[in-house]
């Protein structure tokens, strides 16, 4: 089969940095949708909740931005470790996602409205209630990242030799 030059250039793989950025954007979007479903589903099932749908869209945009900024440092650390140790395992990314959700639970407690009964407990009680939810949401985001980018990362042979030393 004879492939001309233009077709062979179109078949070149996507650079890693594009996959990493796209994977992170997808993961943050899935985390936002998961949180909105997790925390707002019962409200949306009532007629009063459906009236607050425009407010939910605005809250979703704010949450997406906050999630993007706050999850970036743990994401960078997990990527550096994965790159250095050449890890592409779904279990690695899942564990990091759950750990990131656990680490960001205090941020959610700090940013929560003070009159919300879900959050108006002591810090420890609030963490005990919200941590499993945020760990699940972080797991969803991590598995999305792994599906989009993590399993497709290519590691150079030179990096592999440096990682084994």
What letter would DSSP give residue 15?
P
Residue 158 clears pLDDT 50, i.e. is over it: no
Q: CA nearest 137: which of 29, 4, 16, 24?
A: 29
**Residue 97: count of CB within 10 angstroms of its CB:** 28
C-alpha to C-alpha distance for 165 and 154, rounded to whole angstroms: 19
Write down the mean pLDDT value for the chain: 76
Position 119 scores a pLDDT of 55
Query: Both tokens of residue 49?
Result: 């909740």
Q: CA geometry: angle at 139 spanning 131 and 160, to 5°? A: 125
Q: Is the pTM of this model over 0.75?
A: no
Name the one residue in this structure whose structure tokens are 């750990």: 99
């Amino acid at each position: 089969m004879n492939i001309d030059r233009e077709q062979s250039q179109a078949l070149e793989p996507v650079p890693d940095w594009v996959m990493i950025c796209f994977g992170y954007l997808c993961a943050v979007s899935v985390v936002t949708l998961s949180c909105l479903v997790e925390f707002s589903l019962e409200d949306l099932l009532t007629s009063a909740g459906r009236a607050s749908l425009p407010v939910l869209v605005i809250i979703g945009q704010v949450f997406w931005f906050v999630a993007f900024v706050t999850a970036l440092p743990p994401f960078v650390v997990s990527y550096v470790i994965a790159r250095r140790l050449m890890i592409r395992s779904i279990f690695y990314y899942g564990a990091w996602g759950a750990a990131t959700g656990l680490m960001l639970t205090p941020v959610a407690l700090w940013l929560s409205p003070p009159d919300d009964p879900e959050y108006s407990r002591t810090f420890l009680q609030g963490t005990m209630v919200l941590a499993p939810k945020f760990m699940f949401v972080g797991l969803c985001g991590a598995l999305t990242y792994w599906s989009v980018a993590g399993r497709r990362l290519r590691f150079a042979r030179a990096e592999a030799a440096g990682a084994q030393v």
